[in-house]
Structure 1
Amino acid sequence: MATMGRAATLRGFRELVDELGGDGVALLRRFGIAPEAVDSDDAVATSESMGWALEVAATELHCPDFGLRLAERQDFSVLGPLAVALLNAPTVGTALACAQRYLHIHHAGISVELCADPEQQPGVISLNYRDMAEVSAFSQGIDHGAGFLHRFVRHGLGGAYGLRTVYLPHPPRAPAARYAEFFGADVRFDMPTTLLRFPAELLARPMLGSDPMLHTLAMDYLARNFSELDRTMTARVRLAIDRAFLESTADIATVAAMLHTGPRTLQRALSGEGTTFTAVLDTARRDATYRLLLDTDLPLSRITVLVGLREQSALTRVVRRWYGRTPQEIRSQGRAGAVAATHANRRAANAPAENSHTALARLIAPRV
């Protein structure tokens, strides 16, 4: 099963490789990652390909702290829409809770979780960073992820935040002093997992420069579009299909190109999530058809084209399969229901309002 992540995870990779004397474009292509994909918020790549790109860059360029260097130079826009929610959260605790819930939309194989301090020191809490990549040799990816997370917390608080200790699950790849310099704290290697230990009181501290309105809007967007934690690739494909209905043809080749990946890779990722491209397309087509029938006056011939069907008779067949009714019946019944709802709202608006005692009595009165 291919675990997918946003190719933006490697934003800045090309430039860093070039600065170190390598060829960033060629190195990305060697692992099947389109160079332009890293500049997109939608493009995806396999976790394994990104992990190997980091490892090989570090080895071939004789740069053992490559993962830390990449984390050091990236801005938080690599997280796409998630960055807006995180950076505008009211407190550090809220931001980390948001990351715990939605980091999967950036990379399906990575998660963070607040947990008790393994050293049981009072007033200290731990942030556990987990990389589910099955190839345990991806230490550069772990360094990059832990380093990026550390920079985010430091940015949110406007500077040093009292980080006590960092646990890393691999031997030091660069001199230990380099890790201590980067994190500004003691770093322990060959630990069971990746942890950042810091004072628990920081969770209540406000995020620097946050905007509550932007946070609310971003959280609403995430909740509407990325509610199923185990269907990350499915959600991305669904969004791409919805966009393709408006811009082009929603076939697998088009959608894969929109996500900067190949059709076979896309199918493998969807299969790992228990679905297929055909199933996602059918659901998207069903929902789009229903909206167009109820919310527009477009003729059925035009709706047929918009949802990617060739003949109006095909539209009639699939609508019968989905809803047990014809397209025209759905449109007519939907409008009749809307008219009835309008009349009911008008009657309610003209009725005398109940006082609070009357309303309470009605609610608690025994029903016969």
Structure 2
Amino acid sequence: MVSMIRAAALRGLTPLVDSLGGDGAALLARFRVPPGAVDPVSDPRGHRPADADGTPADDGPDAADVLIRSSTAGRILETAAAELTCPDLGLRLAEQQGPDVLGPLAVAVENSATMGEALDCASRFLFVHSPALRVSRIDDPEGAPGVMGLLYGSTEPDPPPPQAVDLGLGVFHRIVAVLGGGPYGLRSAHLPHPPLAPVSRYTDFFGTDVRFERDAAVLRVPSELASRPMHGGDETVRAIAIDYLENHFDRPGRTVTDRVRTALIRSLGTGPPRIPSIARLLRMHPRTLQRHLSAEGTTFETVLDEVRRDTAHRLITRTDLPFSQVTAMVGLAEQSALTRVSRRWFGETPRAVRRAGARSGRD
């Protein structure tokens, strides 16, 4: 499968290349990347930029959501650095970027309550920016007490080129600094390649010691950074942003069955769980949805039954809700229907299931 990344990852490249004596738009055109997908362009003659196939590009608010191949982005950076004799190109581009390059993920990250919550959110949804990238908290590679590592890496078998790593770790560093409101106690930065520019350039950028030819790209930070509060966040806005990410972007490898199950869990008890309504949520035709489920060896009715069973078991054993309310919350019309399916699912009535759950809780 071809690995993709949002074109916004190269935000600022066109003017940067121009400032260095090159032609940023021509560079992107050589790699068949629409200039408006990377940096919104303004043509004094009023002409809209053209896509790779010659059609007018959309340089409106959605232009930054254009996807390009990760390998193409890496080759563009390496080509620009070589042709412009600019070994610190990745760092220069990182200096111009911040959380906004993450697109919709930035809203969820910036409205987190703590730095740890923001990092976990980025780790969970980074696939929206690029399925090939990952960030995560790891043990300190130096083994120092009170220190943890923030790993920036790729899920691809071939590592990204050095300029792309400099850009990626550099942007990661800047995002953490923005979220933390300034210097965040960075102890040192690790890079997996030799220095591309004078070491002083790296230490000036990161503001600390930089160690090269290490196993991975890592920011070494105080462990307490995870619990550090972020100011100005809005939990309601964050919840809306996460709901948007969950419902509009599919994690790589996620099956249609998984998507249907998630949609049913969210909508159960709000109305009759029917194929057309779930298909509409998933933005596909009902027949297409059924074909996908069949290809995955299941049916809508089977997934619905499993969701109802799991939800009913949780409500029966972990709450004291009246069975009439449980009936409504799993989308059944009558309490007698709950009794019938409970016997089929669990071999006994809801009341017996609740008693058994209470006994196991005491044991």
TM over 0.5: yes
Amino acid at match of 2:36: E
**1:364 equivalent among 349, 355, 360:** 355
Q: Is the 8 A contact 2:88 2:197 kept in 1?
A: yes
TM-score by length of 1: 0.65
Amino acid at match of 1:184: G
Partner of 1:33: 33
**Closer, same or farther: CA 320–13 of 1 in aligned 2, 3 Å:** closer
Where do 5+ consecutive residues of structure 1 fail to align? 239-286, 296-305, 309-314, 325-337, 346-358
CA contact (8 A) 1:48 1:133 kept: no
Identity level (%): 46
* 1:23 is aligned to 2:14: no
Distance 1:106 1:231, change over 3 A: farther
Q: 2:173 aligns with which of 141, 150, 154?
A: 150
Give the structure 2 partner of residue 330 of structure 1. none
SS at 1:173 equivalent: coil
**Local SS of the residue matching 1:162:** coil
Distance of 2:91 and 2:238 partners within structure 1: 29
SS at match of 1:5: strand
Distance 2:148 2:288 in 1: 54
* 8 Å Cα contact 2:191-2:217 kept in structure 1: yes
| Structure-to-structure mapping, 1:89-238, within 5 angstroms | 89-132=112-155, 136=159, 138-226=161-249, 228-230=251-253
1:46 & 1:294 partners in 2: Cα distance? 30
**Alignment partners' CA distance in 1, 2:18 and 2:147:** 41
Q: Distance in 1 between matches of 2:160 and 2:278?
A: 50
Please give the secondary structure, in 1, of the residue aligned with 2:64: coil
- The equivalent residue for 1:264 is none
**AA matched with 2:94:** A
Distance 1:319 1:87 in 2: 35
Name the amino acid aligned to 1:124: V
What is the alpha-carbon distance in structure 2 between the residues aligned to residue 11 and residue 174 of structure 1? Answer: 22
Q: Are 1:77 and 2:100 an aligned pair?
A: yes
Please give the TM-score of this superposition, normalised by the length of structure 2.
Answer: 0.66
Give the match's secondary structure for 2:28. Answer: helix
Aligned residue number for residue 64 of structure 1: 87
RMSD: 3.6
- Structure 1 residue 291, shift from structure 2 partner: 3.0
Give the direction of change, closer, same or farther, for the CA distance of 1:119–1:75 in structure 2 (3 Å limit).
closer
Q: Is the 8 A contact 1:32 1:49 kept in 2?
A: no
Secondary structure of the structure 1 residue equivalent to 2:68: strand
2:186/2:208 contact within 8 Å kept: yes
- d(CA) in 1 for partners of 2:279, 2:144: 61
CA distance change for structure 1 residues 205 and 30 in 2, over 3 Å: closer, same or farther? same
Map of 1:291 onto structure 2:
277
Paired amino acid for 2:67: V
Deviations 1:3-61 (A, max 9, x none): 11111111111111111111111111111211122252321000110001011111111
- Residues 318 and 68 of structure 1, relative CA distance in 2, 3 Å threshold: closer
Cα gap change, 1:158 to 1:322, in 2 (>3 Å) = closer
Select between 30-39 and 191-200 the one with higher mean Cα deviation. 30-39
Tell me, which stretches of 5 or more residues in structure 2 are unaligned? Answer: 40-62, 260-272, 295-327, 336-349, 358-363
Q: Deviations over 1:51-98 (max 9, x none)?
A: 010111111111111111111111322111100011111110001111
Q: Alpha-carbon deviations, 1:124-154, whole Å to 9, x = none?
A: 0001110345554710100000000000111
Which structure carries more relative contact order (alpha carbon 8 Å, separation 6+)? Answer: 1
Is residue 67–residue 143 contact of structure 1 (8 Å, CA) maintained in 2? yes
